[in-house]
Structure 1
Amino acid sequence: MAAAPVKTRITDMLGIEKPIIQAAMGWIARAPLSSAFSNAGGMGIIETSSGELDVIRDEILKMKDLTDKPFGVNVAQAFVRDPNIVDFIIDQGIKFVTTSAGDPMKYTSMLKEAGLTVFHVVPSLQGALRAIEAGVDGLIVEGGEGGGFKNPKDVASMVLIPLVCEHVSVPVVAAGGITDGRSMAAAFALGAEGVLMGTRILSSEESPVHQNWKDAIFAADATDTVFLNRSGPGPALRALRTERTERILNEGVENIFGEFAGTQKVYFGGDLEAGIALTGQVAGRITGAKPVAQILDETIMEYYNVVARLPK
C-alpha cells in the first residue's frame, strides 16, 4: 500500500510527493537508481563527481526516458573538471541542483540567474550562513555520521540540524544517519523539512554496486565505519572499516585521493580492499536490500506511526 504524502516546503518547492532526496554518489547515482528514486516519489539526483560529463549527458537523457517525475543534478565542486559545468547543467534542462564540497558563492548566482533551484550541502553553521549569503533556496545539513567526504571538524546531526535551523529561514534537509521513518521523524523534530538518504539507497536492490559491498553493510555494526584523514591534507571522509581503511586510520596517507585509484574495483568489482568504500554509520541499522520504492513507502508510513506514538 502506497504511503500518504508528507507535505513540507521541500515537497512544494521541488514538486515531489515525499520529502526525501537521494544522495549524489559518484558513479552510482545514475539513471537506473535515480529514476527508481524519482518514480517512488522522492527526488532522484544524478552525480557529476565522476567527471564523466559525456556519460552524464547520456544518463540525463536516460532519466528523461525512465521517469516523468522531477530529478536533479549534483555539482561536487572539488571534483569539477569542466569550467563550463554550469552551462552544461543548464543545457540539459535541469531545474534542481545540489552543490557540495566547495564555496556556495562559486556557482549559486549563475544557477539562480538561469532559473534553477539550488540547495547547498553544509557541515557547519558557518557553512550554512555562507550558503544563505550566496542566495541558496535551501540547505542540506549533513552530520558527521554520514558516509563520504566530510568536514574534519565533524558535528553529529543531533547537534548540527537544530543549530542550523535556529539560524536560517530556508528549508533544511537533514543528512547523515537517515535510513527510515524513525530517523526521519527525529530529523523533523529537530527542525528539518526533508531528509537525504545515502547508505540506505547505496544498499538498495536497484543500486549498481557489487553485492560484496552491500553484504558488508548488512553485516556491519554501527562502529564498523572509520573517520579518515581528519588532519589532512585533503578532505576527511567516513568509510567502511576494512584492513585498508584501518591502516589509513592508524598510519595516515600522503594523498587521500590516491586511495581512490581502485574505485571501480571496489564499487563494481567487489574488492573492498582495493580502495575506499564510502559508507555511513547507519550501516549498523541496515540488515538487507529492499527496492527503492519499498524503502521510501515504509519510511513515510513509519514516520506517521512514530509521530502518532509520541507522548502528547
Structure 2
Amino acid sequence: MNKPEPITTRVTAMTGTDYPIIQAPMGWIARSQLASAVSNAGALGVIETSSGEFDNIREEVARMRELTNKPFGMNLALAFVKSSDAVDFVIEQKIDFVTTSSGSPNLCTSILQEAGIKVFHVVPTLEMALKAIDAGVDGLVVEGGEGGGFKNPAPVSTMVLLPLIRSRTTLPIIAAGGINDGATMAAAFMLGADAVQMGTRMLSSAESPVHKNWKQAVVNARETDTVFLNQQSRPALRALRTKRTEELAALGKFQVMEQMAGHHQLYFGGDMEAAIPLIGQVCGRIDAVEPVSDIIYTTINGFRAALADNAKRYGVV
C-alpha cells in the first residue's frame, strides 16, 4: 500500500509526525515492538509507564531508538507518581511529547514543560478538562467512555464529550474512544479534534505483542461484547466480556490490581481468563488482524475520502 501524503495539524506540528494519529499507551503492550511500527508508518508511537516497570521501560526506549528514527512519545500514568522519580525518569528519556493520565496534571506539567516537553493530559469529563487547562497543559486527550482500559466511573461518549470540551477551549485536542478508521477519524475532526488516538485497533494489529488468542478475541467480538467494571469505585474499567469479567461485573467494586495479577499469562500466554482483557467497544468494528502501516494508511485515505465524499454530496465548496 502506497504511503499517503502527510496531513498537517497543530498536533503533527508539535510531534513532527506525518499523520495526526496517536497510538494509545496500553500497559505492558505499548512498548518498542508496537510503538516503533506506529512511528515508522508516520504516526506517533507511545511508550507506556502504567506498568510501573521503569527498568524495563528504559530498555524499551533504548530499543525504540534502534528501531526507528521517527518521533515517539511517552505516557506518564500519574497514579504511579509517588515522588518526583517518575517525572525525572521521563525527562531523562529525552522525550519531546508526553501524555499524562490518571491523576492531577498539576503534579508535573510545569516541570515537564521546563524540560522542553509538550504535555497533553487525558480527560474523561469537562470538569477534568478545565482543571487541566488551568494547570497549563499544551493540549488534551479527550477520551470517551466507549474506549477500553481505565475509565471514569461515569462514562461520557466521545460524541458528547468531544464537542462539549471543544466549545470551552482552543487548545489542540486528541480524540480517543471508538476510533478505528477514516470515517471515525473524520467524525472526530468535525467535532473539534486535531488528531485521534487508537487503542483497541493497535492492540489487535499484526505488530502488537499480545497473544494471538487476544487478537482473535477482538476480531470475533461484537459491539456488545465489552463490560463496564468497578463502577462503584476507581478506576472503572472497560473490558472484554469473559467468564471472569462477567463475574466481576456483578460485584460493583473490587481490587483492580488483584484481578490484573495474571496479566502476563493473559497478554503473552493467551489465557483469556487469567486477568482482565481491557478493550473498547470499537472491537465490534474490527474484523481482521492487519499490519500497523496498513491500518494507518487506510485510515488516512479513508479520512480524506470521507471528507471529500460528504463535501461533494452536500455541495460544500
Instruction: Say if 2:16 and 2:71, in contact at 8 Å, map to a contact too.
Output: yes
**C-alpha RMSD of the superposition:** 1.0
Q: Which residue of 1 aligns with 2:302?
A: 302
The 8 Å contact of residues 51 and 80 in structure 1, kept in 2 or not, is answered as: no
Task: Report how far residue 14 of structure 1 moved.
Answer: 1.1
Query: What secondary structure is seen at the aligned counterpart in 2 of 1:200?
Result: helix
SS in 1 for 2:184: helix
- Cα separation, 2, equivalents of 1:218 and 1:147: 15
SS in 2 for 1:238: strand
Residue in 2 that maps onto 1:117: 118
Query: Shift of residue 80 of structure 1?
Result: 3.8
Once residues 127 and 105 of structure 2 are traced to their aligned partners in structure 1, the CA distance between those partners, rounded to angstroms, is 12
Could you tell me how far 1:195 is from its partner in structure 2? 0.0
What are the ranges of 5 or more consecutive residues in structure 2 without an aligned counterpart? none
Correspondences of 1:117-196 after superposition (within 5 Å) = 117-196=118-197
Answer whether contact 1:51 1:81 (CA < 8 A) is retained. no
Q: How does 1:1-312 map to 2 (within 5 A)?
A: 1-80=2-81, 83-232=84-233, 234-310=234-310, 311-312=314-315
CA displacement at 1:114 relative to structure 2: 1.1
CA distance in 1, matches of 2:135, 2:83: 22
> Are the equivalent residues in 2 in contact too, given 1:16–1:42 (CA < 8 A)?
yes
Distance in 1 between residues matched to 2:135 and 2:81, nearest whole Å: 19
- Cα offset, 1:95, TM superposition: 1.1
User: Taking structure 1 as reference, are residues 86 and 268 closer, same or farther at Cα in structure 2, changes over 3 Å only?
Assistant: same
Take 1:241 and 1:220, find their aligned partners in 2: how far apart are those partners?
9
In structure 2, distance between residues paired with 1:254 and 1:19: 37
Normalising by structure 1, what TM-score?
0.98
Q: Which region of structure 1 is more displaced relative to structure 2, 156-165 or 302-311? A: 302-311
Task: Give the CA deviation at 1:126.
Answer: 0.8
Contact 2:76–2:90 (CA under 8 A) maintained in structure 1 = no
Mind listing any 5+ residue stretches in structure 1 that lack a counterpart?
none
Q: Is the 8 A contact 2:145 2:156 kept in 1?
A: yes
User: For this pair of structures, how many residues does the alignment match?
Assistant: 311
Inter-partner Cα distance in structure 2 for 1:127 and 1:163: 12
Between the two proteins, what is the percent identity of the paired residues? 57
CA-CA distance at 1:79 after TM superposition: 3.1
Whole-angstrom distance in 2 between the partners of 1:79 and 1:145: 24
Structure 2: distance between partners of 1:193 and 1:253: 36
Instruction: State the secondary structure of the residue aligned to 2:140.
Output: strand
Residue 253 of structure 1 and its aligned partner are, at CA, apart by: 4.4
- Matched residues in 1 for 2:259 and 2:80: separation? 15
Per-residue CA deviation, residues 34-77 of structure 1 (Å, 9 max, x unaligned), is 01100111111001111111111111011111111110110111
